[in-house]
Structure 1
Amino acid sequence: MVDTVNHGPTHMSTSTLRYRRWPPAFALCLAALLSACAAPAPEPPDVSATVDAGFRHAPDLVASVDTTWWRGFGDEALIALVERAQAVNHDVRIAQQRVRQARAGQTAAASRLGPTVSLTGSASDERSGLPDRVKQGKPDTRAYRGALELGWELDLFGAVRAGADAAELDALSADDAVDVARWMVSSEVARQYIVWQGARLRLAKLEALLKAQVDTERLTRSREAAGLASRFDVARAAGEVQSLAAQLPPLRTFAAVTETHLAVLVGANPNQPLRELEESAPPALPKPPSLSAGQPVDLLMRRPDLRVAQQQLLAEAARLRVAHADRWPKFFLAAVLGRQDLRLNALDLTPVGYSSAALAFTMPLFDAGRLRAAVERQSAQERMATLQFEKAVLGAIKDVDDSLVALSQDRDRLTALAASVEQRRTGLRHAESLHREGQIDLLQLLDAQRAVLASELSALDGQTQLALSTVQLATAVGGGWPSTQGAGPASPVASRTTPLPSPESESQP
């Protein structure tokens, strides 16, 4: 008895199937030899020659960006928030689940490289009421069968290997996507924390000035009662008090909204205060460290979004190999090794073993251009992935150059603002002295106070922006996780370089 199993695809066009009895051991050896002919994958693209040796606006080199750049700010609350977000942020956890999904797909795709073995069994009992004379030609039958069945697609032209490579690269891309999520959440937590501290400092400054203005209003009313000030002076002082008071609610709202945003980033309940944000602690901006951008080619090893784009490019190249290989014949091996116990009428036969091996192939002859169109479509997809990778590299270099310019200009702006604050404070001291001597009125004194307030708030904004620009540079250069020591995926996929032959002489797009 010979059982055959056809594992060929049903979607193929005109096909030719041939079977021949071969010993199972010989068929398995032949399968191993044919599978060894699978075509290998291309190497990852090398774009290091297309980038410059340095950044256009890079200053003199100082400390390079650390993998834990947020620690350079020296703020324990910021450090705790970033590291907490990297562990429990929902975007990070979603990316980790995508890794599980991609790895499962990789396992499924790689399983096609080997044979499928299954155990089958059956029991049948066929009886009829025919006369014994008739049963000689159609006997009553009772049969018990058990067998091992093997099915294997022999990857002669590399379609299965290319599919497994693509799935492996998808898994590597998913791994790097976790780094992308951590990279983005680290930057956003640092940015929101700096903005929150800046809002608290601005609020504290306005509250202190409001208290001083209330004292000024009270003093002005006393001077009016003594005939030393006019009602205009009182109204002017009271108006300054209300103007300052009107600036407080928006700042309190902004600080509260920023705090709830931080809570969401670290995966906490926004209704509960964050333990890292102690309201009793005095507001203070973290001191930004000095950073350098390194070299443009370093971005290929540091930025996870570039690694994701590279893995996606290699995966599309592997799928292009699948499309090419689909135009070639496919070979399938089927084998059965079993044993059966048979009874005919009242005669019990001795249990016997049986085996079967078959080799089949299917080859497309006519498909109205469907397979050729699949190659063209995947070729365009691979080319788009290449262009996306090149665009990502150029965008990363632009991000660093823009961040360097912003950081340099913010430093210059803060220096000028600090000098302006000193000059305004000197002017206020002179105005207060002149007002006590009666040489200027209250209106001029209030103008001097407003000038100091405006310059101090501008300086505070400058300090906040400098810290934000430092975070922007650290993010642009890809700080925040252990960098790999070489561009491209650390995978055996990248080391296979033999090209796949084309079934037609004409070139493909």
Structure 2
Amino acid sequence: MIKRSTPIALAAAALLAGCSLIPTYERPVAPVPANYAFPSASSPQAEPGAASTAPWQDYFADPRLRRLIETALENNRDLRIAVLNIEQARATYQVRRADLYPGVGLAASASRAPATGTGTQTNSFAVGLAISAWEIDFFGRIASLKEQALAQYLATEEGRNGAQVSLVAAVANGWLTLLADEELLDLSRQTLASRDESVRLTKMRLDAGVASELDYRQAESLTQAARATLAQQQRQRALDENALVLLLGQALPDDVRSSVTGSKLADAPTMTPLPAGLPSELLTRRPDIRQAEQQLIAANASIGAARAAFFPRISLTTQAGTASGELSGLFKSGSWGFTVAPSLLLPLFDAGRNQANLDISKAGRGIAVAQYEKAIQTAFREVSDALTGQATLEAQAQAQQQQAQSEAARLKLADLRYRNGVASYLDLLDAQRSLFTTQQAVVQVRLAQLQNQVLLYKALGGGAPETDTRQPS
């Protein structure tokens, strides 16, 4: 047994524990310019942080799209994995936090051994509560590991938020692509019907001796090319629908699927223009940047644990209960007591293991810094790309629309000239091909415009859930 003052002294020593050797954390300076190359197309008086506060329910006006996004958030397997990763990281943090406290258990022992000097066999029985090898964290090794686990938990939570933003953007892009596919299919069907009619009329002119067989074969060739394009677009539409179904995690609802038929991108509800704000605001908007910073904080905390390994490690084993030489003597008066057995281990020679672990931690922090800076640079580029597209796609769409109108007028003139024998049939076929190609380009540029708006929304971190930075319970 030991003196009553000993446990008090050990408790006081434990209260003094918790010295932290974690380096002071300083957020690296963002390695990007202060402004974007292209200003936002929205009003300069707009609220800079508006993009981060616009939930996807408000940004995407199409009720069908909102329904698909809700379905994806409930059923997408990648997002489900991200949520489970959070639970795993939370449990890891709780394990590290529990290491700060002693583990108390019920201990029972029995032994029989010869007594010293006499050789007589003696028995020993003991029952009580025991703490086994509880490390008193004088130099903050366990606390550093706990801070590392907390930062990794928060990083995993930000990873889940980033996965949600990406999923919302992917579903929106998939939906817009499906609408574009449907419009291109409708255009191809109309073009094929027109060319079938042209073949019929050319065959009649050939039979009447007005047109040559060359005209007929050219018309037939152009018709088969339109039929091949239609088949290709039917296949592409099926592939795009399959990709959207994978994002949703279930089949496309029948009513939504049927509503796509005959839809056009021009009829899609417009999305609210977004102010880009300043590049520095991305640090608080983008979940991937916040995730990279939490990973950097975790790497910084690991240095504290590696430094603490150079200092003595103090452990405490204690037991309080009853002990007796006879089993029947347990729990009787006079059999109660307690034992305390502190131990200290000071590293003297470890063949450089502790120094190597410290070097690993420092290199890990350097890697985390580079990854954090790259995340910022990637975000800056994505916003810049979206703003560039915003500034140029509108002009391209207008020019493409005017070209389609000119090609339609050209086709009418070419047809009129051919019917009056002024132009060759080759001129008419060329006008038909050019109009079809231009009409397809109009749809594709419109799709690029809408997807660019989705890209800007995602790049600005719009719709990212708010993160609870409190310690998990």
- Give the TM-score normalised by the residue count of structure 1: 0.82
2:257 match: secondary structure: coil
Question: How many residues in Structure 1 have an aligned counterpart in Structure 2?
Answer: 460
Query: Residue 342 of structure 1: CA displacement?
Result: 3.8
- The aligned counterpart of 1:54 is 35
Per-residue Cα deviation, 1:280-307 (whole angstroms, up to 9, x for no partner)? 6322223552233222111111111111
Alpha-carbon separation, structure 1, partners of 2:219 and 2:436 = 15
- Within the alignment, does 1:253 sit opposite 2:235 as a pair? yes
Q: Is the 8 A contact 2:150 2:471 kept in 1?
A: no
- The aligned counterpart of 1:283 is 263
Q: Is the 8 A contact 1:144 1:342 kept in 2?
A: yes
2:170 to 174, 188, 196: 188
Change (3 A) 1:249 1:355: same
1:278 match: secondary structure: helix
**Correspondence list, 1:300-315, <5 A:** 300-315=283-298
Q: Is the 8 A contact 1:312 1:385 kept in 2?
A: yes
- The aligned counterpart of 2:153 is 171
Query: Residue 190 of structure 1: CA displacement?
Result: 2.0
Alpha-carbon separation, structure 2, partners of 1:82 and 1:47 = 36
Most deviating of 210-219 and 182-191: 182-191
Q: Is the 8 A contact 2:41 2:390 kept in 1?
A: no
The AA in structure 2 aligned to 1:207 is R
The AA in structure 1 aligned to 2:105 is S
Alpha-carbon separation, structure 1, partners of 2:257 and 2:54 = 24
- The aligned counterpart of 2:214 is 232
Change (3 A) 1:344 1:390: closer
- The aligned counterpart of 1:7 is none
The AA in structure 1 aligned to 2:80 is R
- The aligned counterpart of 1:507 is none
Q: Is the 8 A contact 2:186 2:262 kept in 1?
A: no
Q: Is the 8 A contact 2:104 2:131 kept in 1?
A: yes
Change (3 A) 1:122 1:370: closer
**Correspondence list, 1:341-356, <5 A:** 341-343=324-326, 352-356=335-339
Alpha-carbon separation, structure 2, partners of 1:326 and 1:407 = 54
2:16 match: secondary structure: helix
Q: Is the 8 A contact 2:28 2:369 kept in 1?
A: no
Per-residue Cα deviation, 1:64-113 (whole angstroms, up to 9, x for no partner)? 43543475343223222222222221111111111111111111111111
2:455 match: secondary structure: helix
Q: Is the 8 A contact 1:67 1:483 kept in 2?
A: no
Alpha-carbon separation, structure 2, partners of 1:189 and 1:345 = 73
- The aligned counterpart of 2:223 is 241
Alpha-carbon separation, structure 2, partners of 1:345 and 1:34 = 42
Alpha-carbon separation, structure 2, partners of 1:60 and 1:468 = 16
Query: Residue 274 of structure 1: CA displacement?
Result: 6.1
Query: Residue 365 of structure 1: CA displacement?
Result: 1.8
- Within the alignment, does 1:212 sit opposite 2:194 as a pair? yes
- Within the alignment, does 1:461 sit opposite 2:444 as a pair? yes
- The aligned counterpart of 1:398 is 381
Q: Is the 8 A contact 1:339 1:352 kept in 2?
A: yes
The AA in structure 2 aligned to 1:99 is I
- The aligned counterpart of 2:410 is 427
Query: Residue 239 of structure 1: CA displacement?
Result: 1.7
1:149 match: secondary structure: strand
Change (3 A) 1:321 1:127: closer
Change (3 A) 1:424 1:345: closer
The AA in structure 2 aligned to 1:150 is I
The AA in structure 2 aligned to 1:156 is F
- The aligned counterpart of 1:100 is 87
Per-residue Cα deviation, 1:226-263 (whole angstroms, up to 9, x for no partner)? 33323222222222211111111111111111111111
Change (3 A) 1:394 1:312: same
Query: Residue 423 of structure 1: CA displacement?
Result: 1.3
Q: Is the 8 A contact 2:125 2:327 kept in 1?
A: no
Alpha-carbon separation, structure 1, partners of 2:113 and 2:469 = 64
Most deviating of 142-151 and 313-322: 142-151
1:340 match: secondary structure: strand
Could you say which structure has the higher helix fraction? 2
Change (3 A) 1:211 1:476: same
Change (3 A) 1:273 1:255: farther
Per-residue Cα deviation, 1:321-367 (whole angstroms, up to 9, x for no partner)? 00001101112222211113443999x98561011123322111222
Query: Residue 311 of structure 1: CA displacement?
Result: 0.6
1:419 match: secondary structure: helix
1:35 match: secondary structure: coil
Alpha-carbon separation, structure 1, partners of 2:260 and 2:144 = 60
2:181 to 196, 199, 205: 199
Alpha-carbon separation, structure 2, partners of 1:24 and 1:278 = 80
Name the % identity.
28
Change (3 A) 1:106 1:77: same
2:339 match: secondary structure: strand
- Give the TM-score normalised by the residue count of structure 2: 0.88
Per-residue Cα deviation, 1:376-398 (whole angstroms, up to 9, x for no partner)? 22111111111211121112111
- The aligned counterpart of 1:340 is 323
Alpha-carbon separation, structure 2, partners of 1:344 and 1:279 = 82
Most deviating of 111-120 and 217-226: 217-226
Query: Residue 429 of structure 1: CA displacement?
Result: 2.6
Change (3 A) 1:471 1:345: closer
The AA in structure 2 aligned to 1:362 is L
Q: Which runs of 5+ in 1 are unaligned?
A: 3-19, 129-133, 494-509
Q: Which runs of 5+ in 2 are unaligned?
A: none
- Within the alignment, does 1:409 sit opposite 2:388 as a pair? no
Most deviating of 311-320 and 112-121: 112-121
Change (3 A) 1:276 1:41: farther
Q: Is the 8 A contact 1:140 1:345 kept in 2?
A: no
Change (3 A) 1:398 1:92: same
Q: Is the 8 A contact 1:220 1:234 kept in 2?
A: yes
Change (3 A) 1:481 1:274: farther
Q: Is the 8 A contact 1:143 1:343 kept in 2?
A: yes
